[in-house]
Amino acid sequence: MFLKMSVGVIDKIMVGQLGESAIAGVGVAEQLVFFLLMLFSSISAGVNALASQSVGAGRYETLRPIFGSAMLTGFASAFFFNAIFLIWPRELLAFLGANSEIASAGTAYLKITSFSVISITLTFMMTSVFRAFSDNKTPMYASAAAIVINTLLAFLFIFVFRLGIAGAAWAALIARFSELFIMAFFFERKREKMRLSLADSIVFDKKMFGEIFRVGWPVTLDMLVWQMAGIATTFMILNLGTAAAGANEVIKMMQGAALMPVVGIAMAASSLVGQSLGRVDFNGARRIAERIIKISFLMVLLISVATALFAFKIPSIFNFGPETKLLAANSILMLCFFQIVFVLNICVPGILRAGGDTKAIIYISGSAMWFIGLPLAYLLGIILKLGLYGVIIGVNVGETSKAIMFYRRYKRGLWMKKII
């Protein structure tokens, strides 16, 4: 998933050369796209849990209704949100707290990239099936190709043809549809192995849709709760001024890049855990989970140390003023301190979903963010006037409390069960 986010990250790096308002506008617009990205990834998580256990149990006949129901539902939902983004882009950005300058930049970006919602959705649904067969390479290669395409086109459109923010948006749109076409090509190439083809995407099974909804709705609700907290955080930061908004986009970009490998590992682990649970190999599922958590901890520790060493160099690649650069550098250092706890917040939910223990994710995420993280961020950042630093501390104290609760839930082992 974070490879898909890299398209937005690359846009921010290049648009950052156009100034603080430009990168803030693209960042807020990407917040809306990311909202849907997380929503559809949660639906695909339900699909992946069902498909992985079906493959593990050798029940391949259930894959067709799972895939078809997911594709049709995803397409209809994506079409709806695409229309909303296209009709009311400026209003949505203003609702998030963007001033007129940031909203203008974001509108120029969102009007074009809104069409990519459909490609993102269908790509997610196909990815969930590939991962059910432990095929993580195909989605990774498709995403990597999209990143290369986006990088080349963004550079060409922004700096050669001087299209500005619109150039970044067109590059992102073309890259995301290229990823979809690559995924569709390999999906058809592997149809015999998977007992599926794209023709099955028009098959809707009411009963299987109910199963996807049963497993996926807690995940979807959790993502909505998490995203609403993210929007609330963005609202606070936008009200701190353009410098804070610009610095925040650099912070989000760096954090996304740092956690990208962990997200990829966690997604692969979720499929492997699901297959083990489908075979009723509970000990094997626990061994995989433990190994993934340990590897992810080590990886994030090394990345955090490396990031901290270059914290004051990273903001210099953007066309920012001195205040924004200092804000960004100090904030990156703060995040490096907290970043290790994100391992549990990424890995453990994937493990719990594999076993259908999804309701606990809602309670843990919701309580940690809305009762600890956001109130503390508002207290420190807005009331006590610590600005961006206060918001970051508050949000990450919430993330730390969430990590503790997730680990306790994981150790209870309630996730070790079959769900199909």
Segment 343-354, tens digit of pLDDT: 899 899 888 888
Are 142 and 175 in contact by the 8 Å Cβ rule? The answer is: no
Name the domain count of the chain.
1
Measured CA distances, 408 to 221, 242, 273, 364 (Å): 21, 40, 18, 11
Q: Is residue 309 part of a domain?
A: yes
Which residue would you say has higher pLDDT here, 218 or 337?
337
What domain range is 52 assigned to?
2-412
What average pLDDT does this structure show over 203-213? 85
Three-state secondary-structure class, residue 395: helix
Phi, psi of 180 (to 5 degrees): -60, -45
Residue 303: HSE in the Cβ half-sphere, 13 Å Cα cutoff: 22
**Is 417 contained in some domain?**
no
> Residue 111 falls within a domain, yes or no?
yes
pLDDT at residue 264 above 80? no
Evaluate whether 158 touches 98 at the Cβ level (below 8 Å): no
pLDDT score at 325: 92
The 10s digit of each residue's pLDDT in 367-392 is 999 999 999 999 999 999 999 999 99
Using CA atoms, how far apart are residues 105 and 86, in angstroms rounded to an integer? 15
> Which tokens in the block code for residue 235?
């609202």
- Name 177's Cβ contacts closer than 8 Å, sequence gap at least 6: 116, 119
pLDDT value, residue 394: 97
In a domain, 108, yes or no: yes
| Helix pair angle (137-155, 2-15), 10° resolution | 10
| Dist. CA 336–CA 300, nearest whole Å | 9
Residue 418 in any domain: the answer is no
Using an 8 Å Cβ cutoff, are 381 and 390 in contact?
A: yes
Question: Among 87-91, 201-205, 265-269, which is the least confidently predicted range?
Answer: 265-269
- Give CA–CA dist 412/378, Å, rounded: 33
**Phi, psi for 221 (deg, rounded to 5):** -65, -40
What is the token pair recorded at 28? 């807020």
Residue 180 in any domain: the answer is: yes
Angle between helices 116-132 and 20-57 (to 10 degrees): 30
Lowest mean pLDDT among 22-36, 37-51, 269-283, 369-383: 37-51
The answer to whether position 419 is within a domain reads: no
Residue 404 belongs to some domain of the structure: yes
